[in-house]
Amino acid sequence: MNPDLCERAFAEAPERATLGGMSTEAEIVEQLRALGVRPGGVLLVHTSFRAVRPVDGGPLGLIRALRTALGPGGTLVMPTMTDGESVFDPRSTPSVGMGITAEIFWRQPGVLRSTHPGGSFAAAGPHAEEICRPQPLSPPHGPDSPVGRVHALGGQVLLLGVTHSENTTLHLAEAIAGVPYSVSYPTVVEEGGVVRTVMIAETDHCCVGFRKVDDWLRAKGLQREGKVGNAHARLCEARVLVTVAVEHLATDPLVFLCPADHGCAECDLARASVP
């Protein structure tokens, strides 16, 4: 899942308005609360800073605004996934394709990071330790994972400048629904001082099909949308999101995969794994 592969380059360039003026932290907080972010809640955020910017204070300003909107009783969560091609150290291994905001977030004092060698998440707040506790290698985004724990805690999912294609909670829905496809990837792990490569199975595909969720949620008034900075933002309840997705998966377990004749290599690989 990749909000914006070029985000780092854009974030390092001088900030300039493209769709509007510089947003202050206070303005971002006001927009988040107007959207429906709950003070004291658990919030899983996927974001493209390139879409949100310019923000006073840059990505750190956005992080401060998110934490202010949540308040001291709230818990902020972001994905910090890696490529699994080297031994993972939660204290130093950079995230891959998660965006500059998530990369800066996990490096902040007091932020915890989970230990999955490919599917790690970072969290700060009262529920951070619970969300980041150890998990099974597979599935990376099942019920016993950071995403699953956000769901269990009644958290919200916020998409800032990205679509549901970047929404990891939909992989949780696939795991709960027991979809028939599963693709395994080699991942480097270290156990007892021994480094080896293991195959980790997950419900992977191109994820473009996840965008269907927009229509499903909108039809029932279950997704709030608006502007945060210059980004289009989507906010929904994790439990509602999973319930709606599981309902559709029960009718068509392959609903998120591209049609077989579309030439999508990732979805074709997932289809080929179906028994």
Q: Contact at 8 Å (CB) between 30 and 37?
A: no
Q: Contact at 8 Å (CB) between 23 and 54?
A: yes
Determine the pLDDT at residue 91.
Answer: 96
Share of the chain above pLDDT 90, in %: 91
Q: Are strands 156-160 and 231-237 parallel, antiparallel or unpaired?
A: antiparallel
For 79-113, write each residue's pLDDT tens digit.
999 999 999 999 999 999 999 999 999 999 999 99
Residue 219: band (very low, low, confident or very high) from pLDDT cuts 50, 70, 90: very high
Tell me: pLDDT of 160 over 60: yes
What is the chain's alpha carbon radius of gyration, rounded to the nearest angstrom? 18
Domain parsing of the chain, residue ranges: 7-272
Alpha helices in 78-167 (DSSP H): 100-106, 128-131, 146-152
**What's the DSSP call for residue 202?**
E
Helix (H, G, I), strand (E, B) or coil at 169: helix
Mean pLDDT of the chain: 93
Determine the pLDDT at residue 192.
Answer: 87
Mean pLDDT, range 245-261, rounded to an integer: 97
Encoded tokens for 61: 């300003």
Judge residue 52's burial from the number of C-beta atoms within 10 Å of its C-beta, 0-12 exposed, 13-18 middle, 19 or more buried: buried
Residue 6: band (very low, low, confident or very high) from pLDDT cuts 50, 70, 90: very low
Top pLDDT among 219 and 2 is at 219
Nearest to 45 by CA among 192, 134, 135, 161: 161
Top pLDDT among 4 and 113 is at 113
For 9-56, write each residue's pLDDT tens digit.
333 333 333 445 899 999 999 999 999 999 999 999 999 999 999 999
Tell me: pLDDT of 8 over 60: no
Determine the pLDDT at residue 20.
Answer: 57
Tell me: pLDDT of 125 over 70: yes
State CA 193 to chain mean position distance: 30
Encoded tokens for 270: 């997932």
Determine the pLDDT at residue 16.
Answer: 38
Residue 189 pairs with which residues in a beta bridge? 196
Helix (H, G, I), strand (E, B) or coil at 159: strand
Q: How far apart are CA 233 and CA 52, in angstroms?
A: 9
Determine the pLDDT at residue 23.
Answer: 95
